[in-house]
Structure formats: structure tokens, C-alpha cells
Amino acid sequence: MLDLDNSSGIDDFFVSQAKRTRVASISDLSGYMFLSANKLVHIAQQDFWKLGHDENGFYVERLVEDNEGPVQE
């Protein structure tokens, strides 16, 4: 998934974590686990994301900052 809102595209391959990422298909969500209709946990990073929609389509947006660390079990 590429963050098409804030970069040229290729930059996303070198950035560790984008705040908002476009979702092109349902397969882009394979690394997430749904907690509710619009709240997800990124499985590998153990942090919270939300699923949203705007005029450009669907996106996932990170809900925690880098300094907050992983979700506690």
C-alpha cells in the first residue's frame, strides 16, 4: 500500500511508517485484524489503525504515534 496523499509514491518504500495509507483492494488489509467495523490492529506492529473513506477512496490511518510503542496485551 502506498501513501498517495503525502509523497511521490516511491518514497513510501523507504519510509518506516506512513500515517495514512490508501487501500486499493481488500487484500491490502491482510496484515490487519478487525476489532470493530472501522478499528483495526496491524498484526506485525501491534498498533491501532482506523479504516476510513474520503473522496479519493478507502484508507487506513494510524491512531498511535511512533513513541507510544506496541499495543499492550
- Across 3-22, average pLDDT: 58
* The C-alpha cell that represents 42 in the structure block: 496491524
pLDDT of res. 32: 92
Asked if 33 and 41 count as a contact pair (C-beta separation under 8 A), the reply is: yes
Query: Would you kindly state where each structural domain of the chain is located, as residue ranges?
Result: 10-68
- Across 19-32, average pLDDT: 90
pLDDT of res. 35: 92
Helix (H) or strand (E) holding 54: strand 47-54
Distances, alpha carbon 63 to alpha carbons 10, 31, 35, in Å = 24, 16, 13
Tell me: the pLDDT tens digits for 31-67?
Answer: 999 999 899 998 888 889 999 999 999 999 988 776 7
3: CB partners within 8 A, 6+ apart: 12, 15, 18, 19, 20, 21, 22
